[in-house]
Amino acid sequence: MVETSSPRVLSGIAPSGVPTLGNYLGAMRNWVRLQDGYDCLYCIVDQHAITNWQNPAELRDNTRIMAAVLIACGIDPEKHILFHQSAVPAHARLAWIFNCVARVGWLNRMTQFKDKAGKDREAASTGLYVYPNLMAADVHAYHATLVPVGDDQRQHLELANDIAEKFNHDYGVKFFPRIEALITPESARVMSLRDATKKMSKSDSSDQSRINLMDDADSIALKIRRAKTDPLPLPETFAELKDRPEAINLLGIYAAITNATPAEALTQFAGGGFGPFKEKLAEALISHLTPISEQAKKLLADPAFIDTTLQSGARRAACVANPIVDEAERIIGFLPR
Ligand code: AQP
């Protein structure tokens, strides 16, 4: 399929835990939709995951879980390409070149490094620091031009364009194309159920902070019942929700999962307390997510199928990336392979 002329989409997701409702509403759901209009490459970015230490057995499990959940959500590994990053060495080869193209000053401006490194930046891995260069390589290795990303990734995408432009300029070529962000308006930013000022994250130390896409119905119901809220009733208008991040987050989730606008969702519950709203929210999540987790569990019962699917995806991905990265190496003066 990638040999066709439709624009190439590439996006990645880190197997740094079990994927969450945030990953689903912010990314995976859109990835499924994009399959109708584009040639898509979806990459399970295990090399990004190890920028923070991962337990090896868990990393392997989480990579398989990620693949199973993506397929269960509707990613078609036959028509499109689903693979894990470390199986395609072209990513690392190009990332090294980009490490030598990107400037330290550019990386110093990346806000996500500051967020992810936390207070002790000196203790962060150098991989975490150069992560945006690897992300640029993930996309440019395929000459992909469209990248569905959350708003938090916009800065990394701009960096990927700066790197491409500098490479082209330094070597006098027009080799790497510009990348455009596919920011889908309906992609929701989902916040932690324990602290709505932080995003829902698969690596958060509290399992209660997130809905995992492998959670069963009882866990979903319990997590929503325990989700942090405030004592006030739900108001008539969205404007009145100012300074109530928990209410905004839960209504946003309800709206996203029921395909309503947050204002429409609010009108259903205005004047009521959180109890009845949380019940409806849990019901909506359970009916939407249970078929996904059940299908993923079925797929995971046959790990050999998952591994074969990923290996086949990696072979097809390498067929696209290898000639591009070979050419980038030729441009910079490496001897032919
Ligand atoms: N809470 C979220 N709301 C909306 N979108 C989200 N994404 C992640 N969390 C949310 C989107 O999911 C895609 C894949 O992200 P990733 O797993 O590669 O990295 P991440 O953004 O760092 O996700 P996590 O879950 O927070 O992982 P960890 O815990 O490892 O840092 C991206 O498009 C992202 O925007």
Give the domains, in start order, of the chain with CATH numbers: 8-188+303-332 (3.40.50.620), 207-297 (1.10.240.10)
What residues are annotated to the active site? 116, 199, 202
**Distance (Å) from CA 189 to ligand 1 centroid:** 9
**Distance (Å) from CA 245 to ligand 1 centroid:** 19
The reported pLDDT for the residue numbered 6 is 73
Minimal-distance CA residue to ligand 1 atom 34: 150
199 lines ligand 1 (CB under 6 A): yes
Is residue 222 classed as helix, strand or coil in its secondary structure? helix
26 lines ligand 1 (CB under 6 A): yes
149 lines ligand 1 (CB under 6 A): yes
13 lines ligand 1 (CB under 6 A): yes
256 lines ligand 1 (CB under 6 A): no
The C-alpha atoms of residue 68 and residue 230 are separated, in whole angstroms, by 36
The C-alpha atoms of residue 217 and residue 286 are separated, in whole angstroms, by 6
**Distance (Å) from CA 153 to ligand 1 centroid:** 9
Is residue 118 classed as helix, strand or coil in its secondary structure? coil
Contact criterion met (CB below 8 Å) for 105 and 132? no
How many angstroms separate the Cα of 119 from the Cα of each of 48, 127, 218?
20, 17, 36
**Residue 153 alpha carbon, nearest atom of ligand 1:** 35
128 lines ligand 1 (CB under 6 A): no
The C-alpha atoms of residue 12 and residue 138 are separated, in whole angstroms, by 8
30 lines ligand 1 (CB under 6 A): no
The reported pLDDT for the residue numbered 154 is 86
Minimal-distance CA residue to ligand 1 atom 8: 23
Per-residue pLDDT of the chain (337 residues; tens, 9 = 90+): 334 467 899 999 999 999 999 999 999 999 999 999 999 999 999 999 999 999 999 999 999 999 999 999 999 999 999 999 999 999 999 999 999 999 999 999 999 898 888 888 999 999 999 999 999 999 999 999 999 987 778 899 999 999 999 999 999 999 999 999 987 765 678 999 999 999 999 999 999 999 999 999 999 999 999 999 999 999 998 889 999 999 999 999 999 999 998 889 899 999 999 999 999 999 999 999 999 999 999 999 999 999 999 999 999 999 999 999 999 999 999 998 8
The C-alpha atoms of residue 15 and residue 317 are separated, in whole angstroms, by 18
Side chain identity at 16, as an amino acid letter? Answer: S
**Distance (Å) from CA 335 to ligand 1 centroid:** 39
Q: Give the CB-side neighbour count of residue 295, counting CA atoms within 13 A.
A: 16
The reported pLDDT for the residue numbered 5 is 61
The C-alpha atoms of residue 14 and residue 31 are separated, in whole angstroms, by 15
**Distance (Å) from CA 23 to ligand 1 centroid:** 5
Minimal-distance CA residue to ligand 1 atom 2: 22
**Residue 188 alpha carbon, nearest atom of ligand 1:** 4
